[in-house]
Structure 1
Amino acid sequence: MSKNLQRDVPPFRADVVGSLLRPQAIKLARQQFQHGSITAAQLRSVEDQEITRVVALQRELGLQVVTDGEFRRAWWHFDFFEGLDGVSAYDAEQGIQFNGIQTKARSIKVTGKMAFNHHPMLEDFRFLNSIAGDAVAKMTIPSPSVMHFRGGRAAIDADVYPDLAEYFADLAQVWHDAIAAFYAAGCRYLQLDDTVWAYLCSTEQQRQIRERGEDPGQLAKIYAEVLNQALVGKPDDMVISLHVCRGNFRSTWISEGGYEPVAPILFGQVNVDAFFLEYDTERAGGFEPLRFIKPGHQQAVLGLITSKNGELEEADAVVTRLQEATRYIALDQLCLSPQCGFASTEEGNSLSEQQQWDKLRLVVDVSKRAW
């Protein structure tokens, strides 16, 4: 492969998706806070210490990007949604169904006009940014597509939004305002996490979507438009990526199917700077859909290193797969990362912290060889 193709702006050749396994100190402090034996300030102090520790570890591995591991969250998405105006959390009748396992019963519904105001995650980012040193601090939030798809029409108060066109307009505005607020807080690298595009690739998920009265093809067009409206006016020095995966809870998954059904819209029309794409198993299909990513600045960050188990991939095999992808997209438009975070929820995946760090070290090592 060619050399001297390292990047000094995000996404980096060796990048990360975001979440990290929760250390025991975090788990214990959360339990103590829930039982009322420590205060919110004491919990935050423990979180600060553990985030500082893992930021240093990420830097020691040679990463140019750092995250807070999502240590202050229980979920990759609900914690963000619950901080929006007009959104209420509730205990659902059942959890989200993964392959052979369900999550805790939690969900959200829209009960008022949606808006982004004084979100607590802005302060979370400011802390991360303050300790990032010469690395780039990366913030992760869910995509607006997930906000709608999780409950659909049934989760949106019809008195508040009798017309879904108004709902989608507000949805785009909320994320537009979120992007502006994180930028003002110093964020220059924001990732939108999105499982919905992968669901739209799944025959089984498409069937379920039709059963609830919606058209998968029409949803893809709506979600692309919402994303693009949210990105209007994005500052030139801010990188926004979209991470697409097929579900990640305790090392299980929800959907399967290659990107081909959505590739013309997702890769051909959505104006993000980079796509983080799950590619660790056959469930994600081949690299052919990457041909829809236009030549230019957009990057495809290939998730060839699985976060679902601790078995370490062979570096030569990862390099070979990167070479295979260059049949459809230029090497200069490719980067490497794990396929997902290591703990999309606080429960975490089935591997040890050491195995997690070994995976990230492999990403760095392979990137040095490949580029």
Structure 2
Amino acid sequence: MTDLRRIRVDQVGSFLRPETLKSAFLAHARGTLSMEALVAKQDEAIRALVAKQEALGLPFVTDGEFCRLNWQVSFSDVAGWDLWAGSWAQFLKSPSNLGEGETPNEKGTDAVLSYRTPATGKLRLVESFPAKEAAFLRSVTTLPAKITLMGPDRVCQMCDVPGSAPFYADADAFLADVVAIQHAMVTELAEAGVAYVQIDEPSFTGYVDPATLARMEERGEDPLANLNRAIAADNAVIAGLPSGVTTGLHICRGNRASMWHREGSYDAIAEAVFGGLQHDRLLLEYDTSRAGGFEPLRFVPKGRMVVLGLVTTKTGEVETVEDLLRRLEEAGRFIDLDQVALSPQCGFASGIGGNMLPESAQWRKMEVILETARRLWG
């Protein structure tokens, strides 16, 4: 069996949805297609996607997040925090995931600011959305399955904590319940045979983004204390998993509809984050100068894998093997390349609308990643 902790290629989770699936979601949102019919369309699209990944030679498969309106609804079917209903309303308002005045390949509005949701009761897991995804994915492939979940710090940042009284007095209390629920979700995935669980924490770049840091300080928060709390929360979510389950944590600067939302290098948080997280694989956005240089990789402990997201999912321009090899060689000045793997910087479609590139470019980018890995690591 392949040791997924050591694989040299990775994929962050989502793939571009086919037009037939986009149309089905929109029809359901408008009330003209039943949920049963939508699920049938999802299943059909996932089968085709899995076959494509298998033919390409990827070491694991995802379902492309084809059952999700956006990446965040992994934390849905949770009583007391109704993100799911708000997601449908937002999708119907903007199927492309672009807000008013927003432009692809430019800085967009941070969803954390726009869609804060208050708790309406004590959080309770009704049904695990990722568990339903995993059950179907594992039924249509013999390859290992990878499932992604929104990280606890991101959930906490999306909560209107002051508006959550009397159920939650502060962010610490809310986060504790989020962690308990997500630990239960991850444990259920492991027990169901999911081989690779990835936590998505774009919130971590908030601790280097000047605008986000300023907002924290305006609220009287201590960014360093928040960061340390976030690291502890992410470690608690994966604590006690069986040794055969590979864990990853992904960090980016925003990916909705080919936009970005935060900026700042890893330097200020690298020692705490890279040294403190207990996940097997750290998947780091590195496709633009917004991520800074590779110097912070010196803080990655021996034995932990770093997946460098050198291939952008924001545009259709396809990277070359030669360019990727040069960047990997540069990274090798600060970390042993035996600890390194290669991937896109984020998913290709954080929401239904997807990023602004053709499906052909998506698959060509994956082919270039595979070829680069073969050239460098064999």
Normalised by the length of structure 1, the TM-score is 0.91
Partner of 2:35: 40
Instruction: Identify if the C-alpha distance between structure 1 residues 138 and 96 changes in structure 2 by more than 3 Å, giving closer, same or farther.
Output: farther
Distance 1:369 1:319 in 2: 8
Partner of 1:109: 118
Shift of 1:179: 1.1
Instruction: Identify if the C-alpha distance between structure 1 residues 107 and 167 changes in structure 2 by more than 3 Å, giving closer, same or farther.
Output: closer
Residues 1-371 of structure 1 correspond to what in structure 2 (within 5 A)? 8-10=3-5, 12-77=7-72, 79-89=73-83, 90=86, 99-102=106-109, 106-133=115-142, 135-151=143-159, 153-155=161-163, 157-296=164-303, 298-371=304-377
Shift of 1:120: 3.0
Secondary structure at the residue paired with 1:141?
Answer: strand
Instruction: Identify if the C-alpha distance between structure 1 residues 202 and 356 changes in structure 2 by more than 3 Å, giving closer, same or farther.
Output: same
Shift of 1:171: 2.2
Distance 1:80 1:313 in 2: 31
Task: Note the residue ranges of structure 1 that are not aligned, 5 or more in a row.
Answer: 1-6
| Amino acid in structure 2 at the alignment position of 1:240 | T
| Amino acid in structure 2 at the alignment position of 1:43 | L
Greater alpha carbon shift after TM alignment, 274-283 vs 52-61: 52-61
| Amino acid in structure 1 at the alignment position of 2:362 | Q
Instruction: Identify if the C-alpha distance between structure 1 residues 151 and 212 changes in structure 2 by more than 3 Å, giving closer, same or farther.
Output: farther
Q: Is the 8 A contact 1:175 1:230 kept in 2?
A: yes
Secondary structure at the residue paired with 1:348?
Answer: coil
Shift of 1:329: 1.4
| Amino acid in structure 2 at the alignment position of 1:29 | A
| Amino acid in structure 2 at the alignment position of 1:173 | A
Percentage identity across paired residues of the two chains: 36
Distance 1:358 1:74 in 2: 25
The structure with the greater share of residues assigned to helix is 2
Shift of 1:193: 0.8
Q: Is the 8 A contact 2:61 2:145 kept in 1?
A: yes
Instruction: Identify if the C-alpha distance between structure 1 residues 355 and 164 changes in structure 2 by more than 3 Å, giving closer, same or farther.
Output: closer
Shift of 1:150: 2.1
Task: Note the residue ranges of structure 2 that are not aligned, 5 or more in a row.
Answer: none
Normalised by the length of structure 2, the TM-score is 0.90
The structure with the greater share of residues assigned to strand is 1
Greater alpha carbon shift after TM alignment, 222-231 vs 270-279: 222-231
Which 4+ stretches in 1 moved above 6 angstroms?
91-98
Shift of 1:56: 0.8
Distance 2:160 2:327 in 1: 37
**Cα displacement string for residues 251-301 of structure 1 (whole angstroms, at most 9, x for unaligned residues):** 1101111101111111111111111000000000011111111101x1100
Distance 2:286 2:348 in 1: 15
Q: Is the 8 A contact 1:87 1:110 kept in 2?
A: yes
Distance 1:359 1:302 in 2: 14
Distance 1:170 1:213 in 2: 23
Distance 2:6 2:249 in 1: 11
Q: Is the 8 A contact 1:74 1:345 kept in 2?
A: yes
Q: Is the 8 A contact 1:275 1:299 kept in 2?
A: yes
Distance 1:254 1:211 in 2: 19
